[in-house]
Amino acid sequence: MRGTRSPVRRLPVLVVLAVALSTAACGTTVPLASEAGGAQAISGDGLSVDPGQLPYGVSDLTAPLAQGPGAPVAVDGGTTGSAPGTPAGVAGATTGGSAPTGSATGGGSAGSAVKGRGVTDTTITIGAAIPTGTEAVGQAFGISGAGSVSEEAMWNAVVTDVNRSGGVLGRKLVLYNHSIDLASYVANPERTYGEICADFKDDHPVFAAFVYIGDPTLRSCFAKMGTPMMLYGAFTTLPEAAFRENGGSYLYAPTSLSHERLARLFIDSLLANSFTATWNTTSGGPGVEPVKLGLIHADTPDQNNLYAAYRRELGKRGLEFDDTVTYSGSASDALAATKSAVLRFKANGITHVFGASAFFLRDAESQSYRPRYAYLPGLGALGAANSPAEQLKGALTVGWAPTQDVNQPEDPGKTAGAGRCETVMRAAGLAGNRQDVKLMYAVCDAVYSFDAAAEGGREASVAGLRRGYESLGTSFRPALTFAARLDPDRHYGVSSVRDMAYDSACTCLKYMSSTNRS
């Protein structure tokens, strides 16, 4: 690995670690270069390398990886400056309604005296947390791959586009990048959260913080400092209650959905497609064995909430999990639990499995144990490409982000916001494979939804941003997902999914129809 130092791709953390652990479990290495494909035009046919599912515990971090310095960048064509200080008049939290205490409740304007943190009369500073040190971590797990487009360049391209169009509320949008050392994060996630919190709170005050991390520690930290937290990307899902924390003014996820909604739609999809038909766990096909459901997941508050929602939905149909395995948040515990669960589920006659990671499938194949999988939503094309085909026969799932869910040949076509994003990236000279396109879409959706919400709220404050997001309805046209809707009752945008199945003919995931399940 040390000979030719081609940088590890700027993949989501779950890609790097999940695939690494899944291959390490059976003592082999799968180079991601074979999956990534070469750099191509943004509309090219690069193979998808989308989030694989690490057991939630090497943690809930799903941040994209990128190179680049963490210096403050005022993007107006490439100039660099320092982040502004914190003005007075920070809007506080409230227990309900659309306007936090201390914020204007009326229409407001771009020149309103009420301002959020990181806001001056001429600038609005936003922060993005971007991991670095990906090559060292990738090599430690035996993964290498061709480098492509840096995430920082993507952010700069979109922020530049917003500023060329007049900025946000008549102010220049300024981007500050906080660099995360990935190896340190893996060793101690809580320390990393603390560093992000301290940087955005004390050193570089930002109006809004953009992260791929839905951790409760960060949710609480940002709310206490008066900075709304913006989840970008499609993979991270959170409890409904998370969006109501701190008065409901500090968390937005325009291209993701809640645990409870995912559970309802996923269970509906599975049962509508006869998932619980009898199964043969030796041949991996229809059989006569009694149906028994198994579940494996991390023992964390958010993951416990997700699978409690699954249990409720199954219970409505007279179904329940016959066996459950949980594990703590460390990678070693996750691996040990996975091996143990495979043996236990096989011995206990579990025929259908929920929550299985890519390396669960590897371990199961080594034991000639082939249950039917409720394939993890978000594991997507990369997980399928790095799992034994025999394991995936009959697997069903749901998806809502084509570049994450399927490979290029199975893509159903352009999403509503794709054209705008592609135009901006091309203008910035950025082109890459399918993984790059997915992240470009995520960054576009993050910045453009923020811009639309701030303008709609008519005020650079916590209250104004909330008014704006809640007024978007279906007007925002996302690039990453099929459609989005945000309103006073929903601060996450995805309301629909599509049924998906593994196709043994192409050894890939496919959408089962062009109809959304809502």
Is residue 73 predicted with pLDDT exceeding 80?
Answer: no
Is residue 150 predicted with pLDDT exceeding 60?
Answer: yes
Q: Are strands 285-286 and 279-280 parallel, antiparallel or unpaired?
A: antiparallel
Q: How far is CA 64 from the centre of its chain?
A: 9
Q: Are strands 172-181 and 72-74 parallel, antiparallel or unpaired?
A: antiparallel
Q: How far is CA 161 from the centre of its chain?
A: 24
Is residue 338 predicted with pLDDT exceeding 60?
Answer: yes
Q: Are strands 172-181 and 123-132 parallel, antiparallel or unpaired?
A: parallel
Name residues whose C-beta falls within 8 Å of residue 477's C-beta, 6 or more positions apart in sequence.
415, 416, 417, 420, 484
Q: Do the Cβ atoms of 385 and 404 come closer than 8 Å?
A: no
**What is the C-alpha end-to-end distance of the chain, expressed in Å?**
46
Structure tokens at 324: 């459950």
Torsion of CA 283, 284, 289, 295, to 10 degrees: 140
Q: What is the 3-state secondary structure (H, E, C) of 441-479?
A: HHHHHHHHHHHHHHHHHCCCCHHHHHHHHHHCECCCCCC
Of 204-208, 251-255, 355-359, the least confident: 355-359
Q: Do the Cβ atoms of 54 and 18 come closer than 8 Å?
A: yes
pLDDT band per the 50, 70, 90 thresholds, residue 136: low
Amino acid (one-letter) located at 363: D
pLDDT digits (tens, 9 = 90+) for 251-297: 999 999 999 999 999 999 999 999 999 999 999 999 999 999 999 99
Is residue 474 predicted with pLDDT exceeding 70?
Answer: yes
Share of the chain above pLDDT 70, in %: 74
Is residue 316 predicted with pLDDT exceeding 50?
Answer: yes
> Quick one: which of 485, 457, 459, 488 has its CA closest to 244?
488
Backbone angles phi, psi at 168, to 5 degrees: -115, 120
Backbone angles phi, psi at 221, to 5 degrees: -60, -50
Extract the runs of DSSP E, i.e. beta strands, from 371-456: 372-374, 396-399
Helix, strand counts (H, E) of the chain: 16, 15
Average pLDDT over residues 102-126: 66
Distance between CA atoms of 410 and 140, rounded to whole angstroms? 33
CA–CA distance from 200 to each of 117, 211, 487 (Å)? 10, 12, 27
Is residue 456 predicted with pLDDT exceeding 50?
Answer: yes
Structure tokens at 239: 């409890």
Amino acid (one-letter) located at 469: Y
DSSP state letter for 493: -
pLDDT at position 146 is 36
Q: Do the Cβ atoms of 73 and 40 come closer than 8 Å?
A: no
Torsion of CA 187, 190, 192, 197, to 10 degrees: 180
Q: Do the Cβ atoms of 53 and 18 come closer than 8 Å?
A: yes
Q: How far is CA 416 from the centre of its chain?
A: 19
Q: What is the DSSP string of 298-343?
A: E-SHHHHHHHHHHHHHHHHTT--EEEEEEE-SSHHHHHHHHHHHHH
CA–CA distance from 373 to each of 218, 344, 392, 410, 449 (Å)? 32, 16, 7, 21, 35
Is residue 15 predicted with pLDDT exceeding 70?
Answer: no
